Structures are given as C-alpha cells and as structure tokens.
C-alpha cells in the first residue's frame, strides 16, 4: 500500500517525479496533499532532478475547499492556520531544495496550484494550460508566495493585473512574458520534461544547488552581498567531486562525467 493518498512519488534513474493525483477534483490541493508533498520532498533519495506534474486534465485547481471541516481552511483564522502550518512549509521546502526542479504543467494551475507550478526552476506548459489568480473573485488575496513570485517573474504592473483582475494567463502569454520556460503540445509535455530532467541530472548537481540558492537570494540583497554569496557558493562547488572531475575532463579534453557529489 502506498504511503501517499493524494500524490504519487516515483524516483528512478536519478529523477524524481511528484504527481498530484486527485484528478476527479482537478488535483485540488487540500491540507493532506500539502502535507504529502512536504513529506515527499524529504524522500527524494539520490534524485538529482525533480519533476512536478498533475494527473488527468489539470495540474492543480487550487486549495481544496470541499474536504474536511470547513474551519480547517475557510474563514480568516482558518486560512491563516492552513497557510502557516501546511501550505507555506511545503512551498518553503520546495524553494530551498538543492536539486533543480521542473514543472510539467498539463492543465489549469490556479490559486496555490499556480504557486506550486511557478516555484519550479523550469516550467514547461501544455498549450492547454493556464495560470490563474482567482482570489479576488471570492474576496481573498493571493497566497502561496504568489505576490513574491509574480512580481519578480513578470514585473509589478503585470503582477498587479493578474492579481487584481483575476483573469487567466494562458501558457502562450506566460511564455511571452518570460514567466515560463517553454510551451509544448500536450502529447510532448512529459517527454520534454523528462529530457530536460535527464540533462540536468547529468550536470554538476552541487553547483546547480548553489545556483538555485544564489538566484533566490540575489532578489533580496544588494550587489555587494550577491558577490559574497557567489563566492561562498563557489567555495562549496569548488570543493565538490564534480568540480575536480570537470577540471580533469577539461585538461584531458573529454566530456566530464558528473556524479552529483
């Protein structure tokens, strides 16, 4: 029996895949799903790249408002506790992973589903997918880090448009705005994601992890601090086995064989 009920986790050939797996609810992310994702992120084993995707027609329709006690997730205090105790810890853990992540967005990504999708390093979206901040339509504010991510991905003016008007952002427009990596037809989505994951998994994972950290922190610090953080990251990467392999391969004029160590 699987330890997960709302997601699946597969780790093979150094690639982990987390699939949101409640297709009858368009993979609405209730508190159990948020907690299961959080738990799964601790069980990636030796994976050197992670793919997020959804089962069925959608990626994630947002928070699941239909299950459990209404007080668990609705109302001001219920929403606050749900975010602080379930959704936010999961998103922080995803943000702080030391391996590259890919969102294979197969359909609508709304609410917290939009945040989970855009939190990935590379977002490959089906041309049937869209991203939606619909909170304003029910008198709420975006959460799941949306205000932080959107303003940095597409700028304040476009983030304001998405959040305050609550209109769909198509995959094509998301690509035009620089919010995602690529748009593909649905039949090619997982193949494209897996090819990218294999490429990333064959790269120097320690260095990629330091790049993730530096990119995130550079959005919050001044130039001088960014220089220091890069130097600290270079110290970590420079002491890795992959760095030694890279240098040796360069001198021997061969392709390096990185092991993620």
Dihedral pair phi/psi, residue 45, rounded to 5°:
60, -130
Q: Taking 50 as the threshold, does the pLDDT of residue 69 lie above it?
A: no
**Averaged confidence pLDDT in the chain:** 89
Q: Which tokens in the block code for residue 163?
A: 């959040």
Burial class (CB in 10 A: 0-12, 13-18, 19+), 170: middle
Q: Which of 21-25, 28-32, 63-67, 181-185 has the lowest mean pLDDT?
A: 63-67
Q: Which of 82-91, 110-119, 151-160, 214-223 has the lowest mean pLDDT?
A: 214-223
Q: Taking 90 as the threshold, does the pLDDT of residue 153 lie above it?
A: yes
Q: Taking 90 as the threshold, does the pLDDT of residue 138 lie above it?
A: no
Instruction: Give the CA diameter of the chain.
Output: 64
How large a percentage of the chain has pLDDT more than 90?
64
Most confident of 16-25, 209-218, 226-235: 16-25
- At residue 74, the pLDDT reads 59
- At residue 139, the pLDDT reads 86
| Interval 160-203: pLDDT, tens | 999 999 999 999 999 999 999 999 999 999 999 999 999 999 99
Give the neighbor-by-neighbor strand order of the sheet with 122-126: 7-12, 15-20, 49-54, 101-105, 122-126, 182-184
Q: Taking 60 as the threshold, does the pLDDT of residue 72 lie above it?
A: no
Q: Taking 80 as the threshold, does the pLDDT of residue 238 lie above it?
A: no
- At residue 168, the pLDDT reads 96
What are the sequence ranges of the domains in the chain?
7-201, 205-251
Average pLDDT over residues 110-131: 96
Say what the pTM is: 0.88
- At residue 8, the pLDDT reads 97
Higher pLDDT, 240 or 192: 192
Q: Which tokens in the block code for residue 256?
A: 């390096």
**Fold topology of 7-201:** 2-enoyl-CoA Hydratase; Chain A, domain 1 (3.90.226)
Q: Taking 60 as the threshold, does the pLDDT of residue 70 lie above it?
A: no
Dihedral pair phi/psi, residue 19, rounded to 5°:
-115, 120
Dihedral pair phi/psi, residue 242, rounded to 5°:
-60, -40
């Amino acid at each position: 029996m699987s330890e997960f009920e709302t997601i699946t986790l597969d780790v093979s050939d150094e690639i982990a895949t987390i699939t949101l797996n409640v297709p009858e609810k368009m993979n609405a992310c209730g508190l159990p799903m948020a907690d299961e994702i959080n738990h799964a992120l601790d069980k990636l084993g030796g994976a050197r790249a992670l793919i997020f995707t959804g089962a069925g027609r959608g990626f994630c329709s947002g928070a699941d408002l239909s299950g459990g006690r209404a007080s668990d997730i609705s109302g001001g205090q219920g929403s606050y506790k749900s975010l602080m105790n379930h959704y936010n810890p999961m998103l922080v853990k995803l943000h702080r992973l030391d391996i590259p992540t890919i969102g294979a967005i197969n359909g609508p990504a709304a609410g917290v589903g939009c945040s989970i999708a855009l939190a990935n390093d590379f977002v490959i979206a089906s041309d049937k997918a869209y991203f939606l901040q619909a909170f304003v339509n029910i008198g709420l504010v975006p959460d799941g880090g949306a205000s932080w991510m959107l303003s940095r991905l597409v700028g304040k003016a476009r983030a304001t448009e998405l959040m305050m008007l609550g209109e769909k952002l198509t995959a094509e427009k998301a690509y035009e705005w620089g919010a995602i990596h690529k748009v593909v037809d649905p039949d090619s989505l997982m193949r494209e994601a897996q090819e990218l994951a294999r490429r990333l998994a064959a790269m120097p994972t320690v260095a990629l992890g330091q790049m993730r950290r530096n990119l995130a922190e550079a959005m919050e610090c001044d130039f001088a601090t960014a220089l220091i953080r890069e130097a600290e990251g270079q110290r970590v990467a420079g002491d890795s086995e992959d760095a030694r392999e890279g240098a040796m391969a360069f001198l021997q004029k061969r392709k390096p064989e990185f092991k993620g160590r």
